[in-house]
Structure 1
Amino acid sequence: MKTADPTMARAINDRLALDLLLERGPLTAPQLRALTGLSRPTVSDLLERLRAGGLIEIVGETGSDRRGPNARLYGLVSGRAHVAGVDLRRDAVHVAVADLAGGETGSASRPLPPDPDLAALVAGAVGEAAGGRALHTVVLGTPGLVDPRTGAVTGSGVPGGRPDLGAALRDALGTRVRLENEVNLGAIAEHREGAAAGSDDFALLWLDDGVGGALVLDGRLRRGASGGAGEVGLLKFGGADFCRLLDAAAVAGLGSETVAARIAEAVFVLVAVLDPGLVVLGGALGRAGGDRLAGLVADRLGPLSPAAAEVRASRVEGDAVLRGAVLTALDLVRDDVFGYESFSG
């Protein structure tokens, strides 16, 4: 079995300490020893190494209410790097900027005119939200298919959309840019902080100005060969496109029972083919319908499918796509700034 050499062992210990500071906030050296099981000299060395690298700093002391020396509190240097998440809609673009610790430091929104210079408009919104801060990584969620290999976008329906939007934004912003299907980012947010937290397998049915789906299996987002995994909006029911059956105009004035019956048809396809065990209803319609709509869909799903599946409404607060974009960008910047991501023998 492969073992870690001293350099790799130091990298593993450093990442462990940094992740604990992210999760728990400032900690003392004794607290880090207790949480990691590392020795006093090892923790002392890693703290000095991380301070010298500009990743942590002394942020205070504990023990001011007792006699004896106080213990130093170490915290992340949250301003070491900043990221931006972008939610590109067909009528607007929304941006949130966060520091290394995940604290929001800026935001911006701009409407999309009928025929914009999309790269310039998005770059302007990102620059406004950044407020002069240099950005390490930008993650943008967009409608349409995003090729996992090339990043090319097709079928977005966004005014001014172009297949090479990612490359154009990289040139405009001068930083790393990653494009992702917006429903996939919504699924990341649900998995980390929402209705699917703690679930290794689930499907997200996105019910918004567009209809789509995303899949997380064995704890990993699945995109498919061309980026189209989970795109149930392309299905037809009774000769009609499913996305047309559940757009705002189609459901206006319909009762909850009728809307639930339509949604159950698409949920059944996801359950029958993938058996995810959990389906989350996201987007504006899924959030607005809440637990009542989710319950109605589950009632109609039961007789259709022998595979058991729970149906839940989205639980991500605010813009799930924007939150998923920020979380993805934070993962990328932390892997770069913190260094070693994981170790397996």
Structure 2
Amino acid sequence: MTVPGALERLRAGNSRALLTLLATAGPMSRADLARGTGLSRATVSNLVSTLIGTGQIAETEGRGTPHKGGSGRPPVLLTLSVPRGGVAGVDIGHEHIRVAVADRAGTILVENVTLVDVDAHGAQALDQAASMVLAALRTAEVARADLQAVGMCVPAPLDRRSARVNTGILRGWRNLSPGEELERRLGVPVFVDNDANLGALAELSHGAARGIDDFVHVKLASGLGAGIVLGGRLHRGSTGIAGEIGHVQVGEDGEVCRCGNRGCLETLVAAPRLIALLQPAYDDELSTERIRALDETGDAGVRRVLTDAGRTTGRALADLCNSLNPQAVVVGGPLGTSASLVAGLRDSIDRYAQPDTAAAVSVESGELGDRAEIIGSVALAIARVSARRG
């Protein structure tokens, strides 16, 4: 027999699951919520009725599409109601800090970015991030007391046990817990994740992975990482470092990686390595933006290097696809829109993944570009606030 207290706790947990899914994935039908949470349709229907009654969610005027393109009436979509207050997102990259303030529905009110050396100066970077959040609140005319939470992106693996980043990658962040430090500066809860994971969360809610429950978001930038979404939720692993495909060993006698191992995949395909390979053949100074432009115009050298990088990365992704059987691979980072890179990934997945696995997965560029991480940070803050108050 189920005791009343246990039943209430179960109901509260199921409500939080629905609210979190709506916060991360955006408007969904009742059937989508059932599939995304694993709850029965009857349970979802009862919970939705209660949450509509309490004003936490609402039905939208728009309609969705039947599951998997089937026939039938378009389903009614549900969305989070817009409660009072706001959230902030902080995207800390290796060379920039980007801050956004948004309402509780995720609409960004103010967004600012500044260039700064983040890797060597962790405490100073967090000081500047806090100052930028406060300035953005003033510009957005959101009272500091109305700030509910902050989502923060860091460009390194984050250990869930210690809440600290890998200081081999961020050398100036030793003994720093980014979330605790920014929370102390701002006085509100701060939730932290890495850039590949938050890029995945952004593409899930607002980008190329909308409506896709199982996908891998690959970010190729100064390093290489992947955010894994399974069943509509981020999969972080037991210690928070799932998806670190950049540190798959591809050669025992390769270059020493910043992680301390030798022959890691990212030593061959990270953006600085690709720029170094190409620079001797070009008079003007290369950047990821310049390389991307040369790829679009059909430059033979750039296309060869990017295609090779895609194929090398795709070999590791093929193994991951065999294990996870995702519906899509979404490519992000400054070279994510490169057609040559995407084609190389596709070639290797077709060659090395099981035929049925390869046939099931699409490979495409992300839609959000360099704003993916800030959008993901905002989505993380909203999801945690919604879960806490569900």
Do both share a fold (TM > 0.5)?
yes
What are the equivalent positions in structure 2 for 1:38-117 lying under 5 Å apart? Answer: 50=55, 78=82, 80-113=84-117, 115=121, 117=124
In 1, Cα distance between the equivalents of 2:45 and 2:247? 52
In 1, Cα distance between the equivalents of 2:82 and 2:211? 27
Give the match for residue 135 of structure 2.
Answer: 128
Q: Which residue type is aligned with residue 99 of structure 1?
A: D
Q: Given the superposition, is the C-alpha separation of residues 127 and 160 from structure 1 closer, same or farther in structure 2, using an over 3 Å criterion?
A: farther
Q: In structure 2, which of residues 302, 309, 320 is the aligned counterpart of residue 255 of structure 1? A: 302
Structure 1 residues without counterparts, runs of 5 or longer: 25-35, 57-74, 340-345
What are the equivalent positions in structure 2 for 1:242-321 lying under 5 Å apart? Answer: 242-252=265-275, 253=278, 254-273=301-320, 274-277=323-326, 278-287=328-337, 289-290=338-339, 293-306=341-354, 307-308=357-358, 309-316=361-368, 319-321=371-373
In 1, Cα distance between the equivalents of 2:107 and 2:318? 37
CA-to-aligned-CA distance 1:154-189 (integer Å, 9 cap, x gap): 237447424322111111100001111111000111
In 1, Cα distance between the equivalents of 2:168 and 2:101? 24
Q: Which residue type is aligned with residue 262 of structure 1?
A: A
In 1, Cα distance between the equivalents of 2:342 and 2:116? 33
Give the match for residue 29 of structure 1.
Answer: none
User: How far off its partner does 1:207 sit?
Assistant: 0.7
Q: Which residue type is aligned with residue 318 of structure 2?
A: V
In 1, Cα distance between the equivalents of 2:45 and 2:166? 50
Instruction: Report the more deviating stretch, 241-250 or 173-182.
Output: 241-250
Instruction: Establish whether residue 184 from structure 1 lines up as the match of residue 197 from structure 2.
Output: yes
CA-to-aligned-CA distance 1:35-81 (integer Å, 9 cap, x gap): x999xxx99xx76x65xxxx89xxxxxxxxxxxxxxxxxx9984612
In 2, Cα distance between the equivalents of 1:108 and 1:148? 28
In 2, Cα distance between the equivalents of 1:231 and 1:175? 30
In 1, Cα distance between the equivalents of 2:137 and 2:243? 33
Q: Given the superposition, is the C-alpha separation of residues 159 and 87 from structure 1 closer, same or farther in structure 2, using an over 3 Å criterion?
A: farther
What's the secondary structure of 1:200's corresponding residue? coil
Structure 2 residues without counterparts, runs of 5 or longer: 29-43, 58-78, 256-263, 279-300
Instruction: Establish whether residue 141 from structure 1 lines up as the match of residue 153 from structure 2.
Output: yes
Answer yes or no: is the 8 Å Cα contact 2:310–2:344 preserved in 1.
no
Instruction: Report the more deviating stretch, 139-148 or 188-197.
Output: 188-197
Structure with greater Cα Rg = 1
TM-score by length of structure 1 reads 0.72
In 2, Cα distance between the equivalents of 1:159 and 1:112? 15
Answer yes or no: is the 8 Å Cα contact 1:257–1:296 preserved in 2.
no
CA-to-aligned-CA distance 1:231-274 (integer Å, 9 cap, x gap): 11113334243223223343233432432232233333233242
In 2, Cα distance between the equivalents of 1:76 and 1:325? 17
What's the secondary structure of 2:335's corresponding residue? helix
Q: Given the superposition, is the C-alpha separation of residues 265 and 247 from structure 1 closer, same or farther in structure 2, using an over 3 Å criterion?
A: closer
Instruction: Establish whether residue 209 from structure 1 lines up as the match of residue 261 from structure 2.
Output: no
Give the match for residue 73 of structure 2.
Answer: none
Q: Given the superposition, is the C-alpha separation of residues 302 and 327 from structure 1 closer, same or farther in structure 2, using an over 3 Å criterion?
A: same
Q: Given the superposition, is the C-alpha separation of residues 126 and 158 from structure 1 closer, same or farther in structure 2, using an over 3 Å criterion?
A: farther
Q: Given the superposition, is the C-alpha separation of residues 23 and 303 from structure 1 closer, same or farther in structure 2, using an over 3 Å criterion?
A: closer
Greater per-residue helix proportion = 2
In 2, Cα distance between the equivalents of 1:248 and 1:336? 39
In 1, Cα distance between the equivalents of 2:168 and 2:192? 12
Answer yes or no: is the 8 Å Cα contact 1:86–1:96 preserved in 2.
yes
Q: Which residue type is aligned with residue 271 of structure 1?
A: A
Answer yes or no: is the 8 Å Cα contact 2:307–2:344 preserved in 1.
yes
In 2, Cα distance between the equivalents of 1:218 and 1:294? 24
In 1, Cα distance between the equivalents of 2:329 and 2:107? 30
TM-score by length of structure 2 reads 0.64
Answer yes or no: is the 8 Å Cα contact 1:207–1:282 preserved in 2.
yes
Give the match for residue 235 of structure 1.
Answer: 248
Q: Which residue type is aligned with residue 286 of structure 1?
A: G
What's the secondary structure of 1:125's corresponding residue? helix
Q: Given the superposition, is the C-alpha separation of residues 142 and 156 from structure 1 closer, same or farther in structure 2, using an over 3 Å criterion?
A: farther
Q: Given the superposition, is the C-alpha separation of residues 260 and 336 from structure 1 closer, same or farther in structure 2, using an over 3 Å criterion?
A: same
Instruction: Report the more deviating stretch, 266-275 or 139-148.
Output: 266-275
Aligned length: 292
In 1, Cα distance between the equivalents of 2:195 and 2:272? 22
Instruction: Establish whether residue 119 from structure 1 lines up as the match of residue 167 from structure 2.
Output: no
User: How far off its partner does 1:317 sit?
Assistant: 5.6
In 2, Cα distance between the equivalents of 1:255 and 1:169? 41
Answer yes or no: is the 8 Å Cα contact 2:154–2:193 preserved in 1.
yes
User: How far off its partner does 1:318 sit?
Assistant: 5.0
Instruction: Report the more deviating stretch, 256-265 or 93-102.
Output: 256-265
Instruction: Report the more deviating stretch, 277-286 or 319-328.
Output: 277-286
